[in-house]
Amino acid sequence: MTLPYFLRKDGSSGPLALAHRGFSLDGLENSMAAFHAAVELGTVHVETDVHTTADRLLVVFHDASLDRVTNAAGRIAELTGDEVTQARIGGIEPVPTFDQLVTALPGAKLNLDVKDWNSVGPMAEAIERHGIHSQVLVTSFSDRRRRAVLKRLDKRVASSAGSTLTALFVFLGPILPAALARRLLADVDVFQVPVRYGRFRVVSEGFIRRAHRIDRLVHVWTINERAEMERLLDLGVDGIVSDRLDLLKQVLIERDDWV
């Protein structure tokens, strides 16, 4: 049975267009302006990240520190919520809280990368508080951290494999019996992966075929070139995470696959 998270806006199955940190050609990543722009372009799937402040405020932000993309500095875990939300992304947009994101975009499906252990409890509490189990996918590079969030939830949510399980499937997948693979990936619905990791190719026709054989999906990040989008869609991937949602939309429209 397909989880609601993986259905498109019209309730159909098909390749998903996931807006990477929203959509902003001006570099205002993970801002409310970027999230609104993604939804206005027509997607419901938004990829984003969460960190937690020193006073347990869950904020939407990629880096552990404010330095790279805001007019402020310091590690989020060592700052108060007020200090973090007063920072401006690109000197313009405030750092959103998770509650603000959910309230502003009630119909959005959120792909949530839990970036630190401090966010495990607040993330689970926020999902429960808003009752958005069917609208979220929980992921993390750490399978332990991802599972820690899942264990705190009262209802099932979609989830993608962390680095350890992904590496296991990449290297042992060709010889792993399907029944054993299903058991190892019992709490995983999708692999969200780059095309390559260092010198190792991750996404191949064989990788996709093996994932589909055990009823797991494949989403690929972060794809910003038309030719690569088309190649991956031809291979049969189930979703593309992109900074260029505008371009991905055009590609899917031309393939009669944008809804």
Burial annotation 73-85 (CB, 10 A radius, 16+ → b, else e): eebbbebebebbb
The three-state secondary structure class of 44 is coil
Residue 1 pLDDT > 90: no
Regarding the domain delimited by 4-160+221-254, which CATH topology (the fold level of the hierarchy) does it fall under?
TIM Barrel (3.20.20)
Q: Average pLDDT in the 231-255 region?
A: 99
Specify the pLDDT at position 159: 99
Specify the pLDDT at position 174: 95
Q: Which is the catalytic residue, given 45, 62, 130, 212?
A: 62
Q: Average pLDDT in the 67-86 region?
A: 99
Cα separation, 57 vs 183, in Å, equals 35
Specify the pLDDT at position 188: 99
For the chain, give the mean pLDDT.
Answer: 98
Specify the pLDDT at position 217: 99
Specify the pLDDT at position 98: 99
* Residue 62 annotated in active site: yes
| The total number of residues written for the chain in this structure | 259
Residue 55's pLDDT band (cuts 50, 70, 90): very high
Cα separation, 256 vs 26, in Å, equals 29
Specify the pLDDT at position 158: 99
Cα separation, 31 vs 40, in Å, equals 14
Residue 33's pLDDT band (cuts 50, 70, 90): very high
Cα separation, 89 vs 104, in Å, equals 18
Specify the pLDDT at position 36: 99
Residue 186's pLDDT band (cuts 50, 70, 90): very high
Q: How much of the chain exceeds pLDDT 90, in percent?
A: 98
Domain boundaries, the chain: 4-160+221-254
Over residues 128-144, the pLDDT tens digits come to 999 999 999 999 999 99
Angstrom distances, CA of residue 91 to CA of 35, 52, 149: 17, 21, 33
Residue 207's pLDDT band (cuts 50, 70, 90): very high
Q: Which is the catalytic residue, given 20, 45, 51, 133?
A: 20
* Residue 45 annotated in active site: no
